């Protein structure tokens, strides 16, 4: 496998796991193309042409030092300068994959957040409400990301000649749909039943041993679940006020990777149970399913940067 094969495979797996249909994603790409063709001058120059075929702005090949056959991949949930040095020290790493985005993939991460409005809509929140709330939150996130040092790790990869890419929302879609399918299959009545379902997933079993097992942040084990929303994709946390709307739409429980205090308070006020499944563990699920596909092609996987590696290959 070459880097471009891994990149294409990851994007396609992300589209297949997207809560929106493949047709809808294709329509979005078509809309972007039409908009792009109308641009001119510096607007066109600033436009990321990659986004015409890849719907996830935070999933990108960041640096190709040497486009060789990939036989050994080092993957981490977070890759920083330290991990790049580590890859160099190990000597035989052909590609480093980060889950969390960097470079332009970080600068443009907020663009994937639009998918959250569609997810809320699928669960009964009117699309105008979801879109309105997301617009505000997305611009807040964009402003928050703006001053960051986006290219630092990529610069290190360039200096040391390390191939580097990141797979963010494409992988988070896979985590979300994997957990959603497990919950749908288990059909939990109460929050404790839901916790039982999560404890059957390999990454959460590892998390348990490491002291970061899934936890109930609001609500109690005896509470009825109601409709369960798996909120694990779409860049980062949505707007805190969405919990009230979720409750009105009949969502009783949200399962997420992490939750800020603001969101927790809003969820509590809206009587929505919140289960925090865990950050590194939940991020690992999607990455592991992609890594399994890479491993099937004969590449060795090296676990680093907080990845909880679980292989589902036979």
Q: How far apart are CA 248 and CA 210, in angstroms?
A: 37
Residue 172 beta carbon to Fe ion: minimum distance, rounded to whole angstroms: 4
Buried b (16+ CB within 10 A) or exposed e, 55-74: bbbbbbbbbeeeeeebeebb
Q: What stretches of the chain adopt beta strand conformation (E)?
A: 60-63, 72-76, 95-98, 164-166, 215-218, 227-231, 251-256, 273-276, 300-304
Which CB sits closer to Fe ion, 83 or 172? 172
Which CB sits closer to Fe ion, 225 or 274? 274
Which CB sits closer to Fe ion, 18 or 283? 283
If one counts every other C-beta atom within 10 angstroms of the C-beta of residue 263, the result is 24
Binding residues vs Fe ion (CB under 5 A): 172, 283
Residue 18 beta carbon to Fe ion: minimum distance, rounded to whole angstroms: 14
Which CB sits closer to Fe ion, 252 or 305? 305
Buried b (16+ CB within 10 A) or exposed e, 75-103: bbbbbbeebbebbbeeeebbbbbbbbbbb
Which CB sits closer to Fe ion, 79 or 270? 79
Residue 140 beta carbon to Fe ion: minimum distance, rounded to whole angstroms: 18
Residue 239 beta carbon to Fe ion: minimum distance, rounded to whole angstroms: 18
Which CB sits closer to Fe ion, 118 or 172? 172
Residue 62 beta carbon to Fe ion: minimum distance, rounded to whole angstroms: 17
Residue 233 beta carbon to Fe ion: minimum distance, rounded to whole angstroms: 7
Residue 76 beta carbon to Fe ion: minimum distance, rounded to whole angstroms: 12
Q: How far apart are CA 95 and CA 88, in angstroms?
A: 11
Which CB sits closer to Fe ion, 93 or 280? 280
DSSP 21-56: -HHHHHHHHHHHHHHHHH--HHHHHHS-GGGGT-S-
**């090949």: which residue's tokens?**
61
Which CB sits closer to Fe ion, 76 or 188? 76
Residue 276 beta carbon to Fe ion: minimum distance, rounded to whole angstroms: 12
Q: How far apart are CA 7 and CA 70, in angstroms?
A: 12
Q: How far apart are CA 96 and CA 257, in angstroms?
A: 23
Which run of H or E residues covers position 176? helix 169-186
Q: How far apart are CA 192 and CA 123, in angstroms?
A: 22
């Amino acid at each position: 496998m070459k880097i471009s094969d891994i990149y294409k495979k990851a994007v396609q797996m992300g589209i297949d796991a997207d809560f929106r249909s493949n047709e809808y994603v294709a329509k979005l790409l078509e809309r972007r193309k039409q908009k792009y063709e109308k641009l001119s001058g510096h607007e066109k120059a600033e436009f990321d042409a990659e986004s015409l075929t890849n719907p996830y702005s935070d999933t990108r090949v960041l640096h190709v030092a040497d486009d060789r056959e990939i036989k050994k991949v080092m993957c981490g949930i977070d890759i920083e300068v330290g991990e790049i040095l580590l890859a160099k020290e190990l000597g035989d790493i052909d590609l480093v994959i980060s889950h969390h985005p960097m470079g332009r993939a970080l600068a443009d991460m907020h663009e994937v957040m639009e998918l959250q409005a569609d997810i809320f809509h699928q669960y009964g929140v009117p699309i105008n409400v979801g879109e309105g709330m997301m617009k505000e939150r997305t611009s807040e996130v964009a402003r928050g990301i703006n001053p960051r040092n986006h290219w630092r790790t990529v610069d290190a990869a360039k200096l040391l000649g390390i191939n580097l890419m990141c797979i963010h929302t494409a992988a988070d879609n896979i985590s979300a749909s994997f957990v959603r399918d497990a919950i749908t299959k288990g059909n939990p009545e109460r929050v404790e039943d839901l916790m039982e379902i999560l404890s059957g997933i390999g990454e959460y079993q590892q998390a348990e041993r490491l002291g970061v097992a899934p936890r109930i942040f609001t609500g109690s084990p005896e509470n009825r679940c109601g409709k369960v929303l798996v909120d694990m994709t779409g860049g980062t946390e949505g707007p805190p006020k969405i919990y009230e709307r979720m409750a009105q739409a009949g969502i009783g429980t949200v399962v997420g990777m992490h939750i800020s205090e603001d969101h927790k308070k809003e969820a509590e006020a809206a009587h929505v149970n919140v289960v925090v499944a865990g950050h590194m563990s939940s991020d690992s699920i999607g990455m592991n399913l992609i890594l399994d596909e890479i491993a099937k092609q004969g590449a060795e996987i090296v676990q680093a940067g907080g990845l909880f590696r679980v292989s589902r290959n036979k």
